[in-house]
Structure 1
Amino acid sequence: MPNPPTIRTIAATRYVTPLREGGSLPAVVEACDQGLYVLKFRGAGQGPRALIAELVAGELARAVGLRVPEIVFMQLDPEMARTEPDPEIQDLIRASAGLNLALDYLPGSVTFDPLVQQPDADEASAVVWHDAFTTNIDRTPRNANLLLWHRRLWLIDHGAALFFHHDWNDYLARATSAFAHVKDHVLLPHASRLAEADARLGALLDEDVIRAIVDLIPDQWLGGDVPFASIAEHRDAYLQYFCRRLQAPRPFAAEAVRAHAALNTAPRR
């Protein structure tokens, strides 16, 4: 891998506003570089697992050429809670003191509307393939988690991906499973080049690429209540899972092709 990914670490300096459409209450914050970011709190929702999913799925998307806002590690000082009047936000900031994750805020971006926008088949197929690979259940017409910025499609909010890591039992066996949720993907109707995407994107990923991305996971987000003897074993489990999932033939890709074909053969109402 010629250019392994790197993640900057910066500090939040000002809480700007909550994004209440997100279940985990992310927020727009200003950072020490004067930039604005969407902060995902370690103390919210599924805790570090959601941040790991955001990081790994986002960087895997970037590795296959999809557009994802810059991901950064963000240090959060619990003293920021003192200036917030909302007790829920105060508690969230205090519970998330230390290292969190944030994405570059895209000013002027608009939410993708599947009834209005028509992505091209190659890009739609690549997004569907990536979400099936990373088991991302949160890219549906109800909640597309896609933005249009400068007339280009950007992928956001991958905290619901990697749902395998919420239960490590038989995780390697589950790595070879299909992804039935792909039938609900917002871009599936446009994904007419899935076989081509499978060949092209599969060739862009290998063990070295995946290892470089998994190695980005901070040690403090690993360990805890998982059945691994060490942080190194926990980290290696992510690598093993994705390497096994990448092996051809890939059931998740075949399921996506089948689901797309089913859309075109479904009876019209």
Structure 2
Amino acid sequence: MKNNHPQLRTVNVIRYVTPLREGGSMPAIAEADDEFLYVLKFRGAGQGLRALIAELIGGEVARLLGLRIPELVFANLEKDFGRIEPDEEIQDLLRSSVGLNLALHYLSGAITFDPLVNSVDERTASQIVWLDAFLTNMDRTARNTNMLVWHKELWLIDHGAALYFHHSMDNWEEQAVRPFSLIKDHVLLSKATELEQVDAEFRAILTNERIRAIVSLIPDDWLSGDNMFEHIEAHREVYSRFLELRIAKSEIFVKEAQHARETLI
């Protein structure tokens, strides 16, 4: 996908199917009014809206770069949704998540990627390692790969832990050009032999215009509650500038990944 103007559909959640009790975020499988099942990520859970912003940006950047990501949609929860839910914890979560949430198309029958069983070619491994170093995604380790195998193809999921700079934005410009030391724990690092080639290709794709088109997808109300910014567009601008600065200095995180890989060999 190399569309300069990405768009996300909006669906209405009509049925809460089952919780996926993973960590503190408590995503769930839910059915929407388009009759598809989705993995629903709630604005009222865990890291809240910041996790949804990271999921949205991370997923759409990955898609733009040609990696497989389940379709992302905005998922609207009505005020009375879940009022008959018997589990009080889930009911509280639903009540605090009224409005626009984010959901990924549910890949029925997919299995979790296991590095001991499933193989990945060196080019794909290099692409994914580059992506996660760029996004500062700390959550693609052997313990939690956040990858699925579906119809014999590799799919990436769950970028909510990426862009961790936005949990403390005081020095976001400095953070934008830092190496990403946690790349040493990446599950695919040992196979990432083509980082320099991938860097050149991805830098050409991730233009400032395309970065800003992705950032423009963030709903205004996901950005409106941060008192650090005078207005929504100032908040949005930080995400664009962070990503622009980071890719302009991509040699920093590429060299860090290469060095980390050398220590594994």
Q: Answer yes or no: is 1:61 the counterpart of 2:37.
A: no
- Give every structure 1 segment of 4 or more consecutive aligned residues whose post-TM-superposition deviation is greater than 6 Å: none
Aligned pairs (5 A) from 1:4-15? 4-15=5-16
Q: Which SS does the other structure have where 1:20 is aligned?
A: coil
1:178 counterpart residue number? 179
CA RMSD across the alignment: 1.1
1:224 counterpart residue number? 225
Q: What is the TM-score of this pair, normalised by structure 2?
A: 0.97
1:132 counterpart residue number? 133
- The CA deviation at 1:229 is 1.2
Aligned pairs (5 A) from 1:97-108? 97-108=98-109
Distance change >3 Å, CA 226–CA 257, structure 1 → 2 = farther
- Judge which range, 189-198 or 149-158, deviates more: 189-198
* Runs of 5+ consecutive residues of structure 1 not aligned to the other structure: 265-269
Distance change >3 Å, CA 229–CA 136, structure 1 → 2 = same
- The CA deviation at 1:225 is 2.9
Q: Which SS does the other structure have where 2:82 is aligned?
A: helix
1:116 counterpart residue number? 117
**8 Å Cα contact 1:11-1:76 kept in structure 2:** yes
Distance change >3 Å, CA 3–CA 246, structure 1 → 2 = closer
Q: Which SS does the other structure have where 1:169 is aligned?
A: helix
Aligned pairs (5 A) from 1:142-153? 142-153=143-154
Deviations 1:109-163 (A, max 9, x none): 0000011111000001100000000000010100000000111111101110000
Write the distance in 1 (CA, Å) between the matches of 2:86 and 2:244.
46
Q: What is the TM-score of this pair, normalised by structure 1?
A: 0.95
2:42 counterpart residue number? 41
- The CA deviation at 1:82 is 2.0
Write the distance in 2 (CA, Å) between the matches of 1:263 and 1:61.
26
Write the distance in 2 (CA, Å) between the matches of 1:252 and 1:115.
27
How many aligned positions are there?
264
Q: Answer yes or no: is 1:19 the counterpart of 2:20.
A: yes
Q: Answer yes or no: is 1:157 the counterpart of 2:158.
A: yes
Write the distance in 1 (CA, Å) between the matches of 2:250 and 2:108.
41
The code of the aligned residue for 1:7 comes to L
Deviations 1:23-45 (A, max 9, x none): 31000000000000000000001
**8 Å Cα contact 1:81-1:91 kept in structure 2:** no
Q: Which SS does the other structure have where 2:80 is aligned?
A: helix
Write the distance in 2 (CA, Å) between the matches of 1:172 and 1:3.
25
Write the distance in 2 (CA, Å) between the matches of 1:177 and 1:12.
40
- The CA deviation at 1:226 is 4.2
Q: Which SS does the other structure have where 2:183 is aligned?
A: helix
The code of the aligned residue for 1:16 comes to V
Deviations 1:21-66 (A, max 9, x none): 2431000000000000000000001111000000001101111111
Q: Which SS does the other structure have where 2:22 is aligned?
A: coil
Write the distance in 2 (CA, Å) between the matches of 1:11 and 1:49.
21
**8 Å Cα contact 2:177-2:249 kept in structure 1:** no
- The CA deviation at 1:249 is 5.0
Write the distance in 2 (CA, Å) between the matches of 1:53 and 1:85.
31
Write the distance in 2 (CA, Å) between the matches of 1:145 and 1:197.
21
**8 Å Cα contact 2:134-2:250 kept in structure 1:** no
The code of the aligned residue for 2:242 comes to Y
* Runs of 5+ consecutive residues of structure 2 not aligned to the other structure: none
What percent of counterpart residues are identical? 56
- The CA deviation at 1:250 is 2.4
Distance change >3 Å, CA 244–CA 25, structure 1 → 2 = same
The code of the aligned residue for 1:37 comes to Y
Deviations 1:59-116 (A, max 9, x none): 0111111111000001012322223111100000000011100000001100000111
Distance change >3 Å, CA 226–CA 131, structure 1 → 2 = farther
